[in-house]
């Protein structure tokens, strides 16, 4: 691996800019709040680096110093501890800090300490000194931003967070950890990083590795280090939508937690606590994910969680965050809006104790929740995952070998996920059968209106005929997530049995970008797209896509020209090659059901064209 002082590591990339925005915005709130009540506050930069990037962009040490200079009226003394192991980087750090002294107006109120050493060793030394002096850290903010994942033992993070009024903002390098987690020679490094050997179970987990890794680290923070609050922010590479790392904030202050969570929400393009790389700017011009989903979802959550309770607003906030693994992805303004709407609808009562206005809502105001849920059971609102009543139903099925096996039959009423089991099992070895499979019925209908398609008969009595109808995304998500989290037997969910899987790609939130990330949170089940479309633009932008199979339906060229109202066969093959080259698992489905003269010749021609472009199902 290249040294930390290598030039390529000091090119200022967009994902670094986003990280620095979160850091600067939070420090801008943290300094006045802590400085007001404490004569000294401290900022630790555990991997300080060079102070500035090759294009002149400010590094984290200068961001903190310039912000402290601007906010100096709020504190008595601001102590900066800059730690950097690499000698070249440290030399650059000293040079830039000396140069910047003239530009810091309130230098007299700022104390700078520089340490050329390993982060863990420096902090260890500080704790040993404090032990001898029987002291504790002053209120401190630790920015731990390594290039990799070594040199950050969990015991050090635990020691930091055991001090009152300390917090950590940590770059957790999930991509690199995922790459090297199977290397036996790094087992001690991972044991040290996580403070446990539970990371070994990640190799067997059904979750996507990056999700399992961040969940394990947060579990350690809460269960071992006894941290009250944590929240992650996903950061993709600047080049494509592929997770690079998570920024993880951990602390014991509810106020700090709410502030950082709000900053992260506001910095994410979709309101989903993530920087999406090349998609980020384009997405910012669209409607946020939270705005798309109705506030009714949150109101339902509050009524379910706090049924028959009377709580202050502060207590509501406190209970929402615990336990940590079920904290919903909303911020303070969303809860205030939801409670005010519930009050206006006479679904909750609010007894105002400290609010300055009749319609305000502050910490000691009491919220009285009803015993029953006034929102009717047949309401169309969806329920957040934390309170979802979605249930997976299992059934015993006879298999092709005659044995019986209990597998999933449907989720809830089967309107979204169900097992297709209508066809009989073969009676003899030569019988042709249609196997049973799991359907993901996210929509029905098809825009292509091919003359021979069975959907013409299947949907002819529907109000929309064969015109495409997409079901509510909220319902699709809740049923799919429940399936992915609970079902242990690997399955392929067919999303193209009663609809073309790519027919919804030009919408605000295309189906591919909605469903693929869901499947990428685990490694057991796959989703199968079946299509006659050639619109694969969105698929080419999605990373990763390990749990996806793309199937293209083809026919002989004369058949397609005469009977299919879809992109040409050649365009579909071209699209198939694009997604194949992008790393997708690609299948080709050929249904030679339409009679055509010289059919052998035409289908051989189809196969020749196909294999001249790529070999479906095979990878180098």
Could you tell me whether strands 77-83 and 40-45 are parallel, antiparallel, or unpaired per DSSP bridges? parallel
Fold equal for 293-386 and 392-613: no
Token reading at 275:
């920087």
Q: What pLDDT was estimated at residue 286?
A: 45
| Region of poorest pLDDT, from 94-108, 149-163, 438-452 | 438-452
Is residue 467 predicted with pLDDT exceeding 90? no
For residue 302, pLDDT beyond 80: yes
Is beta strand 443-444 parallel, antiparallel or unpaired with respect to 437-440?
Answer: unpaired
pLDDT tens figures, 426-449: 888 787 777 889 999 999 888 887
Asked if residue 212 has pLDDT above 60, the reply is: yes
Residue 76 host element (H or E): none
**21 pLDDT more than 60:** yes
Q: What is the dihedral of CA 18, 23, 29, 31, to 10 degrees?
A: -160
Q: Are the beta carbons of 466 and 444 closer than 8 angstroms?
A: no
Band the pLDDT of 25: cuts 50, 70, 90: very high
Q: Where are the domains of the chain?
A: 7-287, 293-386, 392-613
Residues 6+ apart with CB under 8 A from 480: 416, 417, 440, 493, 515, 518
pTM of the complete model: 0.63
Is pLDDT above 90 for 70? yes
pLDDT of residue 51: 86
Residues 26-61 as b/e (b if ≥16 CB within 10 A, e otherwise) read bbebbbebbbeeeebbbbbbbbbbbbbbeeebbbbb
Task: Quote the mean pLDDT of the chain.
Answer: 86
User: Which of 29, 45, 57, 67 lies closest to 263, judged by CA?
Assistant: 29
503-519: average pLDDT = 90
Mean pLDDT across the stretch 604-617?
88
Q: Alpha-carbon dihedral of residues 454, 458, 461, 464, nearest 10 degrees?
A: -80
Q: What average pLDDT does the segment 347-352 reach?
A: 92
- pLDDT band (50, 70, 90) for residue 95: very high
The Cα 157–Cα 155 span in angstroms is 6
- pLDDT exceeds cutoff 90 at 74: yes
**% of the chain beyond a pLDDT of 70:** 88
The confidence score (pLDDT) of residue 133 equals 66
The region of weakest confidence among 203-212, 251-260, 404-413 is 203-212
Q: What is the pLDDT of residue 5?
A: 63
Residue 425 CB coordination number (10 Å): 14
Instruction: Supply φ then ψ for residue 277, to 5 degrees.
Output: 65, -130
Res 422: pLDDT: 78
Other residues' Cβ atoms within 10 Å of the Cβ of residue 118:
16
pLDDT confidence bin for 505, thresholds 50/70/90: very high
Share of the chain above pLDDT 90, in %: 56
Residues 79, 80, 85: CA angle, nearest 5 degrees:
145
pLDDT > 80? residue 457: no
Least confident span in 245-254, 345-354, 486-495, 590-599: 590-599
Taking 90 as the threshold, does the pLDDT of residue 117 lie above it?
yes
Enter the CATH code of domain 7-287: 3.40.50.150
Q: Please write the tens of the pLDDT for every residue from 527-550.
A: 999 999 999 999 999 989 999 999
Pick the closest to residue 246 from 224, 268, 278, 279 (CA basis): 268
**How large is the average pLDDT for residues 308-320?**
93
614 pLDDT band, cuts 50/70/90, is confident
Cα distance between residue 263 and residue 90, in whole Å:
31
Q: Cα separation of 444 and 498, whole Å?
A: 5
Q: How many CB atoms lie within 10 A of CB 526?
A: 17
Q: Are 438 and 417 in contact (CB under 8 A)?
A: yes
Q: 161: Cβ–Cβ under 8 A, 6 or more apart, which residues?
A: 167, 168, 221, 225, 227, 250, 251, 252
Assign domain 293-386 one CATH number from 1.10.287, 1.10.8, 1.10.10, 3.30.70. Answer: 1.10.10
Which has the closest alpha carbon to 296: 389, 362, 374, 359? 374
Assign domain 392-613 to its CATH architecture.
Alpha-Beta Horseshoe (3.80)
pLDDT number for residue 376: 41
pLDDT of residue 4: 64
Structural contact between residues 279 and 289, judged by C-beta atoms closer than 8 angstroms: no
For every residue of 9-69, which 3-state class applies, written as one string?
Answer: HHCCCHHHHHHHHHHHHHHHHHHHHHHHHCCEEEEEECCCCCCECCCCCECHHHHHHHHHH
pLDDT at residue 295 greater than cutoff 50? yes
Q: Which of 50-64, 177-191, 345-359, 398-412 has the least mean pLDDT? A: 345-359
Least confident among 28-32, 218-222, 397-401, 442-446: 397-401
Q: Residue 344 is encoded by which pair of tokens? A: 């206006």
């Amino acid at each position: 691996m290249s040294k930390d002082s290598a030039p390529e590591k000091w090119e200022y990339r967009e994902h670094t800019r986003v990280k620095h925005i979160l850091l600067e915005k939070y420090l801008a709130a943290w300094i006045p709040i802590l400085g007001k009540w404490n004569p000294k506050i401290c900022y630790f930069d555990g991997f300080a680096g060079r102070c500035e990037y090759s294009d002149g962009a400010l590094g984290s040490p200068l961001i903190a110093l310039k912000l402290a200079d601007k906010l100096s009226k709020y504190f008595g003394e601001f102590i900066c501890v800059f730690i950097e192991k690499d000698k070249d980087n440290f030399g650059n750090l000293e040079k830039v800090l000396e140069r910047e002294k003239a530009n810091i107006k309130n230098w007299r109120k700022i104390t700078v300490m520089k340490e050329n050493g390993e982060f863990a060793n420096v902090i260890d030394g500080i704790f040993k000194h404090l032990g001898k002096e029987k002291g504790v850290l002053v209120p401190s903010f630790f920015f731990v931003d390594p290039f990799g994942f070594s040199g950050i033992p969990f015991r050090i993070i635990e020691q930091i967070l055991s001090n009152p009024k300390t917090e950590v903002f940590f770059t957790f390098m999930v991509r690199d950890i995922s790459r090297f987690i199977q290397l036996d020679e790094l087992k001690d490094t991972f044991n040290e990083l996580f403070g446990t050997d539970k990371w070994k179970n990640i190799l067997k987990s059904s979750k996507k590795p990056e999700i399992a890794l961040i969940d394990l680290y947060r579990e350690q923070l809460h269960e071992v280090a006894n941290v009250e609050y944590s929240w992650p922010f996903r950061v993709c590479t600047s080049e494509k939508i592929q997770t690079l790392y998570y920024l993880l904030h951990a602390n014991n202050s509810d106020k700090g937690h709410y502030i950082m969570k709000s900053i992260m929400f506001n910095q994410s393009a979709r309101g989903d606590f993530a920087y999406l790389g090349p998609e980020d700017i384009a997405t910012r011009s669209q409607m946020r994910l939270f705005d798309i989903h109705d506030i009714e979802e949150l109101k339902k959550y509050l009524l379910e969680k706090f049924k028959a309770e009377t709580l202050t607003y502060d207590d509501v906030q406190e209970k929402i965050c615990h336990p940590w693994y079920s904290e919903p992805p909303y911020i303070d303004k969303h809860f205030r809006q939801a409670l005010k709407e519930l009050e206006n609808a006479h679904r909750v009562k609010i007894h105002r104790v400290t609010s300055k206005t009749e319609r305000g809502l502050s910490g000691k105001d009491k919220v009285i929740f009803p015993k029953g849920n006034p929102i009717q059971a047949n309401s169309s609102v969806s329920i957040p995952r934390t309170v979802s009543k979605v249930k997976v139903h299992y059934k015993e099925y006879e298999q092709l070998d005659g044995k019986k096996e209990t597998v999933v039959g449907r989720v809830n009423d089967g309107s979204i996920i169900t097992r297709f089991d209508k066809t009989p099992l073969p009676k003899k070895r030569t019988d042709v059968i249609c196997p049973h499979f799991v359907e993901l019925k996210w929509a029905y209908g098809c825009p292509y209106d091919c003359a021979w398609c069975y959907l013409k008969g299947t949907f002819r009595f529907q109000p929309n005929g064969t015109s495409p109808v997409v079901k509510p995304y909220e319902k699709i998500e809740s049923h799919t997530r429940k399936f992915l989290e609970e079902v242990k037997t690997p399955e392929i969910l067919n999303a193209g049995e009663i609809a073309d899987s790519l027919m919804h790609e030009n919408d605000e939130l295309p189906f591919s970008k909605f469903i693929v990330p869901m499947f990428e949170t685990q490694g057991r089940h796959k989703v199968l797209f079946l299509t006659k479309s050639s619109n694969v633009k969105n698929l080419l932008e999605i990373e990763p896509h390990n749990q996806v199979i793309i199937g293209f339906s083809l026919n002989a060229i004369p058949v397609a020209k005469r009977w299919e109202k879809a992109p040409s066969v050649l365009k579909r093959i071209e699209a198939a090659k694009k997604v194949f080259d992008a790393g997708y698992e690609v299948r080709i489905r050929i249904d030679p059901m339409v009679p055509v003269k010289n059919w052998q010749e035409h289908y051989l021609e189809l196969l020749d064209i196909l294999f001249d472009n790529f070999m479906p199902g095979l990878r180098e």
